[in-house]
Amino acid sequence: MTRAGDSIETLAMTDYPDHYFGTCRDRNTDTLYVMRVPGSGLDAAVTARAADWPTVKVRFADAAGSREQLMTVLNRIRADTEEWRARGVVIDGLTLAIDGTGVVVDTPQWQSAEADIKAKYGALVAEVR
């Protein structure tokens, strides 16, 4: 399935960057999961490409945003870390949720800062912890 996964990932990154988040695969079931923002031709293109590998099952999962969109939010938060520090909030880490649900913000002040962080950066912040 490596060839199928690589081929599909290249197609998605090249032709659908505003909708594609990522892929993961289950080798036990020979299933390729494609995480994407619904509403483009990506599903049809992936399904057509996967026809070259009839043993590979393709499943689609909704993502909150494309990898590019989520990285934009992550980088915006990163650029604002000193602003947050001045407000008493230390940003220890920033990652993308592996399931495409959004940006994960790690801070020891998560309980007091969660609402403010989500208000500032919007729905693409999946979790403040």
Q: What is the CATH number of the domain that holds 111?
A: 3.30.300
pLDDT at 64: 98
Query: Residue 119: which domain range?
Result: 67-128
pLDDT of residue 5: 73
DSSP for 88-111 reads T----EEEE-TTSS-EEEE-TTHH
At 6 the pLDDT is 85
In terms of domains, do 44 and 8 share one? yes
The answer to whether residues 6 and 49 belong to one domain is: yes
Low-confidence ranges of the chain (pLDDT < 70): 1-2
Residue 94 has a pLDDT of 98
Q: What are 30-52's pLDDT values in tens digits? A: 999 999 999 999 999 999 999 99
Question: What pLDDT was estimated at residue 1?
Answer: 52
